[in-house]
Chains A and B, each alone.
Chain A
């Protein structure tokens, strides 16, 4: 066996090994707020990909390690991904296994479209979408595909174009949170060696949570185009990759846990004064209250 033969074969290994190596990064110090260990690894690279690696593949579809089909679901203007991997479910605050008892109200029948995605159908099929009985909301549904149960995890709202944006409060509503009292904890998280860990203390004080809720719901939202214009305008094209990287490295992950147990995350860029939520594909410009909150609780 030649070294090059080994080197070539190494290039074909399963994606999970590559993602693990891409998403690792040591702690870095950065940012206007001089937060301690910031800049976790799930910045621009990897977060979506790492998550997507845990997708449930409809039986009979491609398992090719390079080009894999996504068990995606479009439902009510939102994009979901269907998954039954315990560590992904637990990351979203769900039990490690989805069972029949968790299937609540029937919502729709689904069919598989060429194996890559589920879609709603008027025909009665063996694939059904249910409310998640322990916490009925749009943030998570239960999918029964034959005898197999999985969760449909909310990914993002479909935006009409690259400049459409959604208010932050809509994200809370999707997860069934209508008031600050529905939030149980807010934590700064980071990932090292692929594992998510909480940095510092977890904010659970009702007053702090109430401030956070009021602050986030008051933030002005921006679409991607307006955000790009506000942050990167005037930067020469050749300098853009570095500018994008610098922005990504400024970001920290903030995990919001609800009293229902469900969790979702957002990205805060303190050095630039922006918050991004993958769920709304929108950016939010930090105001003084936002700076103050993060200074106080995540310093």
Chain B
């Protein structure tokens, strides 16, 4: 079903909207949440919470595009759950991806420990614009969707080794960029 038609169901307060949403985006949402949490039960709960959040938001919201709107909710809820799980020492699925970024971000010598999120968002978007489309997609699949190297390789047709090498280069570019922007010293 088209996104517009799903939105109309939400506006009509038809519970069919949730079924259509799940039918169309359920797999995407569950995969994203599972990548972050590494636990299918937690992922299922997060996706259900995301559906509830969407139900409460629409109307009045009429998100466009619906895909990104839903993915952002799922990612936020999953990261919140991930932090709670980690605090409770239950581990999680996105630890490796976070550790990869650690090498280019975690420096005690950052200019501002609490750089405003909006400013950081702007910097990230500028950095993404400097990448080729293929590299941008690799970066997003790894650090936004927390896909494994194998998943990215299957999706893009590249070898796992190639994905790994390219991501290493992109992280180096990111570090260089953040230094240039004087975010890292």
A residues near B (Cβ < 8 Å) are: 1-15, 17-22, 24-27, 44-46, 48-50, 52-53, 55, 66-70, 72, 79, 116, 155-156, 162, 193-194, 224, 240-242, 244-245, 278, 281
Contact = CB atoms under 8 A, between A and B. Distances in A.
A241 B22 contact: yes
B144 A11 contact: yes
14 contacts: A1-B120, A6-B101, A7-B143, A11-B144, A18-B71, A26-B155, A48-B2, A68-B63, A155-B2, A193-B134, A240-B23, A244-B24, A244-B27, A245-B27
B143 A19 contact: no
Interface in B74-122: 75-76, 79, 83, 94, 98-99, 101-102, 105-107, 110, 112-115, 117, 120-121
Interface in B100-156: 101-102, 105-107, 110, 112-115, 117, 120-121, 124-125, 128, 133-134, 136-137, 140-141, 143-145, 154-156
B10 to A, nearest CB: 13
B160 to A, nearest CB: 14
B57 to A, nearest CB: 7
Contacts of B2: 48, 155-156, 278, 281
Contacts of B112: 1
A7 B140 contact: no
B3 A52 contact: yes
A9 B121 contact: yes
Contacts of B98: 3-4, 7
Nearest to A1: B110
A70 B65 CA distance: 9
B62 interface: yes
Contact of A24 (B72, B79, B156): B156
Contact of B133 (A5, A53, A70, A194): A194
A8 B79 contact: yes
Given A18-B144, A26-B154, A52-B65, A3 B105 contact: yes
Contacts of B52: none
B121 A2 contact: no
A154 B79 CA distance: 39
A70 B64 contact: yes
B162 interface: no
Contacts of A162: 16
B149 to A, nearest CB: 15
Given A6-B101, A20-B137, A15 B4 contact: no
B165 interface: no
A63 B27 CA distance: 29
Contact of B120 (A5, A18, A242, A245): A5
A10 B183 contact: no
A52 B64 contact: yes
A289 B23 CA distance: 31
Contact of A7 (B22, B69, B79): B79
B38 interface: no
B22 to A, nearest CB: 7
Contacts of A18: 67-68, 71-72, 140, 144
Given A1-B183, A224-B1, A240-B23, 19 more contacts: A1-B107, A3-B99, A4-B98, A7-B101, A7-B143, A9-B124, A18-B71, A19-B67, A19-B68, A26-B157, A45-B28, A49-B64, A52-B64, A52-B65, A67-B62, A193-B134, A244-B23, A245-B27, A281-B1
